[in-house]
Amino acid sequence: MDEPNAGIGRRDLLPGPARALASVLELWDSIADSGGRDLVLEGGSGSGKSSVLRAVQDETDDDCEILVGAEWSREVPYAMLGQLRTRDPIWQSVDGECSASDRVQIAESLLEELQSEDEEKRIVVLDDIHLADPESLQIFSQLGRRLRGTRVLLLIAVDPKTSAKVDPDFLRMTTSPVSERVTIPDFGRADALELARARGVYDIGEHGASVLVAQSSGRLRVAQEILSLLPESRWPADPADLPLPDSVIREVLDPIEATGSAEVSDVASALAILGGPQDLARIASVASLHDPGPAVDLGVAHGVFRERNSAGRLTLALSRTTSARVIMAAMAPSTRRQFHERAADSAYREDERLVHLATAALGADGELARRLRDSAAVAERFGRWADAAELHFGAARVLAPSADRDDELLAGIDALASAGRVVEVLPWIDIGKNIAPSTLRDTVLANVAIHRGHAAQADDLLSRAAAAPTDDDGLTAQIALRRTLDSLVRWDGPKVREWANRAMSLGGVDEPANVESHAMRALGFAAQGKIVEAKEDLEDLSDRHLTGAQNQRVRLCVGWVSMLAGDLREAVREFEAAVPTQYERGSLRISLWAHGWLARVQYLLGEWDEGLRTAEIGLRRADSANISLVAPLLNWTAAEIKLWRGHPVDEVMRRADSSAILSDYLAMQVPARLVRAVAANVRGDHDGRAAALRPLLDVDSWTQDRASFWPWSTEYVDALITLGHSDQAQQVAADFKKNTAEAREHIRAQSALASARSHQDTGDIPAAEADFARALELFTRSQQDTATAQVLLRRGQMLRRANRRREAVESLVRAREFYEGVGATVLIKRCDQELRATGMSWRGMSETDNGRGAVKSSVEAGGYVPLTPQEMSVADLVVQGMTNAEVSRKLFIAEKTVQYHLTHIYGKFGIRSRTELAAVHLSGDVPSV
């Protein structure tokens, strides 16, 4: 454990550790009433876990004991346990012998002491448990399972990376469902900003915060050390100039030096130069070793290297993310050049060989610059933007200061932005701004501005670039391409098509600008509701058999159009094909869009766990790359799932980009507003819900010539009705229905749901019921299970208010069953509230209601038999005379599933036929309300 610092409290912690501390103290406060228990505090090295423990000690004062494991005492039985304050000394073993019966006796005597009536409330903290003696942990594993009768909180600090070294029985106790668990969130960009500003570093910016997270490997302690080493607390323009803390240098170099092998050092240097996992043959060549095997074995044993198996290919990599930078910094310049020359000689690809030659060059080399530039053009043609960037920067490195060198620098910046590696672009921005003003410079800086979500800046730069006279068709095509992307994220279909056609007219069919513009033009058709034309455009591209990022882009756009067409399964396949980047050297920015829409489709299909996982992976990558443009889309799905699952609203909204709701880019603004609307809905703040969505009437309305991409109209109608604004709700619902009359089924389902709510509000129940039925049919047909559940809940609410209680229960129970399956606790509670309001003792009622006692007493009294929600639905339809096939179609489940439920129902009632089911199921009719 780190050395304690006096007076660490809640205000001194970052939000993540502070929330963890609050959870610990909340449980501590409840110990006196609810009894003792064990609590696991999980966090990696440098996560702030030690700071939380010190703050716990400060807050709980003399009631807290911290027991710490140590390497030197690990072989001493009961060494950790001996640190515990007890009335009688802990039994000590003789000659290291300690039988199981001894351990049981010690555990029982300790438990008896802790259970005494005069025992004060206390908190016992176990830290560095991977260094604790097994005997102590075995006793604590016995105690941890029996703390309810005590007034003790056993707080166990766990690092996932060291848990394999912990006693297995103790580890099972910490991972059991009985144990409470608090996880310190990863150190992220928002934490980095707050930490830097608390340290007086105000010029860090969001991209600098992303760099700080990356350079510290997400470790709070290392980030603090980096900030403390900044000269005059000023953030450097180039992250390469960030100081390396001595602790980071030592954790990289000490294991290398501990091997005492020059060959291990050479292998490490080779890996640092090569910049990623490599096979042994390549490593041997660059390290100039005949047989690297012994050095590799020694390095793996000391934690310098780690083996990786990727697609059946065994490679070697440096163990730490910071290793390459530390090792490169420790190498002499001449040694670095020598290693780069060897890397060039052994390169498998020509473009990689050229980059290493450029890095090893001692001065200007015009011929090498030409070869680098030609190779970059080939990489761009295949959409390998990251490779193209390295080649352009390599060319700039071997050119004397000149306009040609400036053009290569700008081309490298543009390629990095196109690859989605915005964090790596940002240090070059100042260099780019110092280049003489030109049309190319404005176009390149506009590309970066778009990906950072700076709409006004992008528009200004592109307007200036377009106004400048030029006879360079390639540059004009590049400007048109950027305008196409700018129009797309504004969801301006006519402009997307206009600019895409212009870009395509200025270059050959194989040029990058042509392929990108062609793909985006299809989305321009889709934005105008012309799905057939969009699909035809994409079929033309698919016939070209594109590879790499170009194929990735087409797969993304096909998925996008499939989603708009309501073919969600096809959309999933295409988005999944567009997600990977590593094998075909694709673009991260395309991958992030694919993550965002894949997560949304998974959510719509009812696959909430998969949707949340996809969105959070994308969010982490978007944060590390600082691609702000796509973050609101990714956060939309992640936040909505968390909010419906009952996560604290303030905590969820802390992740949202508050500036996105004001963006001119609808791709940022609309998802951000939808998240705000859901948060307000969860809070019951319908004024806030309507306020979040109202501006979209002006910027994202459906018209006869324009199709919105986001499902906000139905939510807005519901919010207006809840607020009593009936006239306005009716107008919005009517306009929505009129303008979507020819739209795809899932869109017509949304308008039917809005119309149903409007009719319900005016008291026209038959019309509302017809619209609900239509929405249910259309959503079911398009497999939108999440939207189907929403319709069932709304329909159940209407039927309950119309005093059609039995039908209301059927609808509400089906909605509840879905929400229970996806863990939507907020919506489960709403279903339960409506079910209770029916006055019916519905079969399978939640045990959190008056259910547990009611079900038990009813069964014992010979009353109704408790059925699950789905069993109740099946029974209700069967007693109406429906066949299994008819029931399966009615409930949208398989016929085999109907028979499965019937078998269980018969068993519960102790019957054998449908006739008997009708008799027993309907005999105990519900009481009148």
Exposed/middle/buried for residue 717 (C-beta within 10 Å: 0-12, 13-18, 19+): buried
In sequence order, what are the residues at sequence separation of 6 or more whose Cβ sits closer than 8 angstroms to the Cβ of residue 510? 381
Q: Which residue has the higher pLDDT, 146 or 569?
A: 569
What pLDDT is stored for residue 155 in this prediction?
Answer: 93
User: For the segment 558-604, what is each residue's pLDDT rounded down to a tens digit?
Assistant: 999 999 988 999 999 999 988 875 544 557 888 899 999 999 999 99
What pLDDT is stored for residue 6 in this prediction?
Answer: 40
Query: Which of the residue ranges 108-122, 398-412, 740-754, 805-819 would you say has the lowest mean pLDDT?
Result: 108-122
pLDDT at 850 over 70: no
What is the helix (H) or strand (E) element at residue 730, kind and residue range? helix 726-739
Mean pLDDT of the chain: 85
Cα separations in angstroms, 865 against 513, 691, 811 = 67, 47, 20
Give the helix ranges, DSSP H, for 216-330: 220-228, 246-259, 262-274, 280-287, 293-301, 323-330
- DSSP character string of 448-462: HHHHTT-HHHHHHHH
Q: How confident is the model at residue 856 (pLDDT cuts 50, 70, 90)?
A: very low
Pick from 232, 235, 230, 226: which is nearest to 204 by CA? 235
Other beta carbons less than 10 A from residue 308's beta carbon: 13
Query: Which of the residue ranges 190-194, 277-281, 678-682 would you say has the lowest mean pLDDT?
Result: 190-194
DSSP code of residue 72 = G
* Backbone torsions φ then ψ of 229, nearest 5 degrees: -95, -5
> What number is the average pLDDT over the span 56-63?
87
The segment with the largest mean pLDDT, out of 69-73, 481-485, 505-509, 863-867, is: 481-485
Give CA–CA dist 437/420, Å, rounded.
24
Give CA–CA dist 677/848, Å, rounded.
28
* Backbone torsions φ then ψ of 166, nearest 5 degrees: -90, 150
Tokens of 764: 């026209």
Instruction: Give the max Cα distance, the chain.
Output: 96
Q: How confident is the model at residue 5 (pLDDT cuts 50, 70, 90)?
A: very low
Pick from 675, 731, 672, 726: which is nearest to 701 by CA? 731
Q: What is the CA radius of gyration of the chain?
A: 32
User: For the segment 463-492, what is each residue's pLDDT rounded down to a tens digit?
Assistant: 999 898 888 888 899 999 999 999 999 999
What is the SS3 assignment for 925? coil
Amino acid occupying residue 890:
K
What pLDDT is stored for residue 586 in this prediction?
Answer: 58
> What number is the average pLDDT over the span 701-721?
89
Pick from 710, 712, 708: which is nearest to 689 by CA? 712
User: For the segment 334-351, what is each residue's pLDDT rounded down to a tens digit?
Assistant: 999 999 999 999 998 999
Pick from 704, 641, 623, 627: which is nearest to 678 by CA? 641
Q: How confident is the model at residue 624 (pLDDT cuts 50, 70, 90)?
A: confident
Pair 291, 263: CB distance under 8 Å: no
What pLDDT is stored for residue 145 in this prediction?
Answer: 77
What is the helix (H) or strand (E) element at residue 15, kind and residue range? helix 15-34
What is the SS3 assignment for 402? coil
User: For the segment 651-703, what is each residue's pLDDT rounded down to a tens digit?
Assistant: 888 777 778 888 999 999 999 999 999 999 999 898 999 999 999 999 998 88
Exposed/middle/buried for residue 779 (C-beta within 10 Å: 0-12, 13-18, 19+): buried
Pair 135, 103: CB distance under 8 Å: yes
pLDDT at 313 over 90: no
Q: How confident is the model at residue 812 (pLDDT cuts 50, 70, 90)?
A: very high
Pick from 126, 135, 127: which is nearest to 74 by CA? 135
Position of tokens 């700008």? 410
Give CA–CA dist 812/830, Å, rounded.
9
Q: How confident is the model at residue 799 (pLDDT cuts 50, 70, 90)?
A: very high
Other beta carbons less than 10 A from residue 769's beta carbon: 19
What pLDDT is stored for residue 581 in this prediction?
Answer: 59
Query: Which of the residue ranges 707-716, 750-759, 830-839, 843-852 would you say has the lowest mean pLDDT?
Result: 843-852
Q: Which residue has the higher pLDDT, 843 or 260?
A: 260
